[in-house]
Amino acid sequence: MGFIKNLPFFAINPILLMVGISTLVLFFFSSLRHSLFHSGAWDLGIFDQAVYLISQGVIPNSSFTDFHILGDHAAFILYPLSLLYRIYPDVHWLFLIQAIALSSGAIPVFYLARQQKLNDNLGHILSLVYLLSPLIFNANLFDFHPDAIAVPSFLWAVLWARLDKLLHFCIAVVIVLSCKAVFSLTVIAMGIWLFLFEKKLLMGSLSIVAGIVWFVIATKIIIPAIGGESASTARHITRYISLGSSYSEIFTNFFTKPNLFFNKVFSIDSFTYLLLLFAPFIWCWRSKNLSPLIATIPTITMSILSDDPAQRYLANQYPLPILPFLMLIAISNLSIADRQKKWNLRFIVFWAALVFILMSRLNLFTWEYLDSLDTWKENNEAIALVKDQGSILTTHEIAPHVTHRLKVETTLIGDPSNLDDFDYVLLNVRYPGFGSNHDYSVDLVEKAKKIQNLQLEYQKNDVYLFAKK
């Protein structure tokens, strides 16, 4: 760690400036998307309600999933986050935490570059490449996920491992594991890489053991015990149903029906996913050190084999665990290039900016996110009339604005709710939202009008609010 202590203070200032600007940009756009009613119950509403309930000392049973929040992904990181809600309960805390977490990854990137003997200028360029990654902007825009906190933690874990800082390394790994149970697989893969290629035998072994132990505890004890049968990891099998109807069958089919897996791996869909995933780092194609890719195998494998195309989108949180290890390849590649003086650094910056422009979802603010502005005022006026923490039925997009209560449900077709069970029914017929449609919303309005216990409190521009008398 001596090289960090010997760094002149001004050397890190540009990084802090970049991190600060990035945090403000990410926070602004995620907050703007939310204010335009384009965030959703899944997943912002789930996490906001859970963190709020934890902060109030209430058992955080999500009314969206119908089980304890720890039964979802064993994300214990939500508990310390709830302390911020004790100060003031507001969903924007989650946006700020996510923006800070994703942006702060530029700091360990800079230190990792210095650890590889790169000068400050190259360290700044690599940090900029990291911050311009469309994976960061897109994941930040897609509601809130604890996955964001794991990104800088992976980078810090590698740095501390290389510096033989055991306690620091363990803390970073614990933070990663507390974000999501499935990250245990990435931690195991990272441990294998550290053991075999970085020759960090202790750190690698600890990573492997910690990953295995936590995966078993989380999936076999915590999730089923706290979340119940409905939270079982078997519920995720639907994403891989083409490979088998159970995990054991999938394992058997891997040997008896390998064509099922080959068809997934060697497909246009998988090729496109990998091409877009590695596009920002095309300038690393001649890298002689691709060993960090070992740590990305669990994430890439789960994404490629999944029947759900959303798991291969680069517009959500799923590819985030891959980014730290792509940055390690970039750092290693640039350290060789620096010594050989063959790289045009201007091209690297230009390419990072170009890929960001082409692949980030910034353009959504010019059309899709503006499509419901004609009812924006009415949505806010109706929400303001929800005076207490009574139960509420509303649309998928309005739900994250009213999640600070025990019971919130969304208007999903095929999952009809008894309107008598709610203190409020808030509907936007013009924009019924995800999982609903115009006819279903109109039908709910007509049913609400016929219920004696419900009173029409607000009606304007196709926005309706019913409240219990």
Write the pLDDT tens digit of every residue in 267-285: 999 999 999 999 999 988 7
Q: Let me know: does 468 contact 453? Beta carbons within 8 Å.
A: yes
pLDDT at 339: 53
Task: Using alpha carbons, select from 53, 65, 37, 22 the residue that is nearest to residue 143.
Answer: 37
Identify the pLDDT of residue 288. Answer: 78
Q: Using alpha carbons, select from 321, 265, 333 the residue that is nearest to residue 295.
A: 321
Using the 8-state DSSP alphabet, how is residue 452 labeled? Answer: T
**How many other C-beta atoms can be found within 10 angstroms of the C-beta atom of residue 329?**
19
pLDDT value of residue 289: 86
pLDDT value for 344: 76
Dist. CA 121–CA 129, nearest whole Å: 12
Provide the 3-class DSSP secondary structure of residue 426.
Answer: strand
Residue ranges in 56-200 assigned as alpha helix (H): 70-73, 78-87, 92-104, 106-115, 120-131, 134-141, 147-162, 166-179, 183-196
Burial letters for 387-418: b for 16+ Cβ neighbours within 10 Å, e otherwise?
eeeebbbbbbbbbbbbbbbeebbbbbeeeeee
Residue 6 CA to residue 184 CA, distance in Å, equals 35
Token duo for residue 103:
């942006």
pLDDT at res. 4: 52
Please report, for residues 60, 122, 218, 280, the alpha-carbon distance to residue 131 in angstroms, rounded to integers and kept in the order given: 34, 14, 32, 12
424-428/392-394 β-pairing = parallel
Q: In this predicted structure, what is the pLDDT of residue 414? A: 77
Tokens of 204: 């690698």
What is the value of pTM for the model shown?
0.93
Whether residue 43 is preceded by a cis peptide bond, meaning omega within 30 degrees of 0, is: yes
What is the DSSP secondary-structure string of 30-51?
HHHHHHTT---IIIIIHHHHHH
By the 8 A CB rule, do 62 and 49 touch?
Answer: yes
Q: What per-residue confidence (pLDDT) applies to 434?
A: 92
| pLDDT on residue 342 | 53
Q: Give the other-Cβ count within 10 Å of 449's Cβ.
A: 12
pLDDT of 9 = 47
The residues of the chain scoring below 50 in pLDDT are 7, 9-10
- Helix (H), strand (E) counts: the chain: 22, 7
